[in-house]
Structure 1
Amino acid sequence: MAVCVAVIGKDNSPLYIGGIGNDTSTDNELSRQWLVHTALDALEERLASTNTNNSGANANAARTDLRDLYLGLLYSTDTHKIYGYVTNTRIKLVLVTSSTSPSGSNIRDAEVRTALRRLHALYADAICNPFHLPGDQITSQKFDKQVKNIMLNNV
């Protein structure tokens, strides 16, 4: 089961961090932010290694790698698994799942990939709002509701 979803800007500033559940305590919010920020190190490392591999490859191979924006499992802990996705504009999407729940340990890679692609589409819709300023946090209630729907139903 998905625990947290985050949209991180080009400059590694959080644009959206959302979770599910009724627990809105400060400790829970801080643990979500900690998980997302620790995922950024792994995400940046994966991006750096991808760019290094593409520089030596031919142009066709580089184009194929750029189409696949899903970075897969970034790292896992005893209680969580963290997955990453990067858009062409270097916006980072992070999905945190629980590995302690029975459904969390059986999550397939294809399900996570689909959820992150749907999140990317929701993000694109949210920033296409003419009143949204690029680089500002996403405060849309519609976006929040749709993200929580993805988290409850898909992953």
Structure 2
Amino acid sequence: MAVCVAVIGKDNSPLYIGGIGSDTGSDSELSRQWLVHTALDALEERLSSANSNNTAPNATTPRPDLRDLYLGLLYSTDMHKIYGFVTNTRIKFVLVTSSTSPSGSNIRDAEVRTALRRLHALYADAICNPFHLPGEQIISQKFDKQVKNLMLNNV
């Protein structure tokens, strides 16, 4: 089960952090932010290693497919698994799932990939709003409702 979803801007500023569950206290909000910010380190490490591999002069080294924006499992803890997705414009999506729930321990990679692609589509719809300023936080109630529905239904 998905616990938290985050959209991070190209300058690593959070554009949206949303979670589901009955705990809406400040402790859970801080733990969500902590999980997302620690995922940024793993995201940046993966992106820098992909860039260094992509500029290697040796033609025999395998290069990562830059068309595949899904980064997979970034890291896991005792309680959570954190997945990443990056767009061509360096917008980052982080999905945090619970590894302690019965449904969270057997999530397939294809399900996470699909959920992150749908999140990307929702993000694209939200920023196409003519009243949205690029680089600003997403405060749309429609986007929030669609993201929470995605988290409840897919992952």
- Specify if TM > 0.5: yes
Q: Does 1:14 align with 2:5?
A: no
Count residues with an aligned counterpart.
Answer: 154
Asked whether the 8 Å contact 2:53–2:64 carries over to 1, the reply is: no
State the Cα deviation string for residues 43-68 of structure 1 (Å, max 9, x = none).
00000001111112799x99971210
- Alpha-carbon offset, residue 69 of structure 1: 0.1
1:78 equivalent in structure 2:
78
- 1:134 maps to 134
1:1-155 matched pairs, under 5 angstroms: 1-56=1-56, 65-155=65-155
Structure 1 unaligned spans of 5+: none
Output the amino acid matched with 1:139.
I
Inter-partner Cα distance in structure 2 for 1:86 and 1:62: 20
TM-score if structure 1 supplies the norm length? Answer: 0.95
1:20-48 per-position Cα deviation (integer Å, ceiling 9, x unaligned): 01211000000000000000000000000
* Separation in structure 2 between the aligned mates of residue 111 and residue 96 of structure 1, nearest angstrom: 13
Separation in 1, partners of 2:135, 2:31: 24
**Structure 1 132/58 Cα, relative in aligned 2: closer, same or farther at 3 Å?**
farther
Deviation at 1:79, TM superposition (A): 0.2
Task: Kindly indicate which of the two structures has a greater share of residues assigned to helix.
Answer: 1
Runs of 4+ in 1 over 6 A off after TM superposition: 61-64
Conserved? CA contact 2:83–2:96, under 8 Å: yes
Identity rate, percent = 88
TM-score (norm 2): 0.95
Query: 2:95 and 2:62 mapped to 1: Cα distance?
Result: 25
Stretches of structure 2 lacking an aligned partner (at least 5 in a row): none
SS at match of 1:48: helix
Deviations 1:124-148 (A, max 9, x none): 0000000000000000001001100
Could you tell me how far apart the structure 2 residues matched to 1:134 and 1:6 are?
16
Report the 3-state secondary structure (helix = DSSP H, G, I; strand = E; otherwise coil) of the residue aligned with 1:53.
helix
